Amino acid sequence: MDTEKLKNLAASGKVSERKRALKEIKKLFRGGVNVSSLLRNWVNNEKWEVRRTAVLAAGAIYKGNDDAIQWFSREALKNGNWQVREAGANILRNIKAVDKESLNLITKYSMDKAAIVNRSLGDSLAHLYFKSKGVLKIINSLAEKTALSQRKTAAFTLRRLIYKDESFLETLSRWVESKNENKKWTAAYTCKILKRKMDIAEMLLKKIKGKKETMKMAEKALNELKKRNLGFPSR
């Protein structure tokens, strides 16, 4: 497939065609074709679909090549389109080590105001935990931050970790009992987005004691759980 046809697939409004472009790029890479210059050019394309495809492709083919992944993630971070930034947060899960540059990117992405970016970064951090246990220190730090986006990132990370290993419910319990108000708020938000172990989430929410903002989130989370138990769609 020539590069123009490939770019047309990458620019498509159809997710299925963009996925096909990703598969073709991976096939070219496995066949020994140097696709680096192509992807670097695409990152600056006028269409966000092409930029997103380039970032996701880089994450897939450069898995374990931290310098390459960091470069594409940095480029995505500068992008005005949240879907491109979400891709940049997504590919961080494929780094080998959480070094100084990776930590810098994690910090910047955690401050993104788009919740979908926070969620993608949270999923990446949960994935990285199993490569570096130091990630737990990072999410504990994020859970205490003033910025809502950083606390949400911590919550999305812990949610994913709980899904992988229920022993992380102990971490959630410690956040509930923390003296730090922001960490208690983060615990309430984590309970709100948990879609498993809702009985435990409800029990933990009822234990939260804090200031107005914290209690408001705890109440909102309890209402969310009630809706799910009654079979109503959550917002």
Residue 169: predicted pLDDT: 96
Return d(Cα 38, Cα 116) in angstroms, integer. 27
- The H-assigned helical ranges of the chain are 3-10, 15-30, 36-42, 48-61, 66-77, 82-90, 100-110, 115-129, 135-142, 148-164, 169-176, 181-193, 198-207, 212-229
Q: What is the pLDDT of residues 113-152, one digit of tens each?
A: 999 999 999 999 999 999 988 899 999 999 999 999 999 9
Instruction: Report the alpha-carbon distance of residue 87 to residue 131 in Å, rounded.
Output: 20
CA distance 173 to 153: 18
| Tokens 């948990």, located at residue | 194
Q: C-alpha dihedral over 171, 175, 179, 182, to 10 degrees?
A: 140
Better-scored residue on pLDDT, 227 or 222: 222
Distance CA(161)–CA(88), nearest Å, equals 21
What pLDDT, on the 0 to 100 scale, is given for residue 233?
Answer: 46
Please choose, from the candidates 67, 8, 63, 3, the residue with its C-alpha nearest in 3D space to the C-alpha of residue 30. Answer: 63
Q: 14: closest CA among 55, 53, 59?
A: 53
Please give the model's pTM, rounded to 2 decimal places: 0.92
Q: What residues does each domain of the chain span? A: 165-235
Which two structure tokens, joined as six digits, stand for 54?
């380039």
DSSP per-residue string spanning 50-107: HHHHHHHHHHHHTTT-HHHHHHHHHHHHT-S-HHHHHHHHHGGGG-S---HHHHHHHH
Could you tell me the pLDDT band of residue 231, with boundaries at 50, 70 and 90? low
pLDDT-based confidence at 88, cuts 50/70/90?
very high
Residue labelled with tokens 């959480």: 98
Angstrom distance (rounded) from CA 155 to CA 163: 12
Q: Give the model confidence (pLDDT) of 147-191 as tens digits.
A: 999 999 999 999 999 999 999 999 999 999 999 999 999 999 999
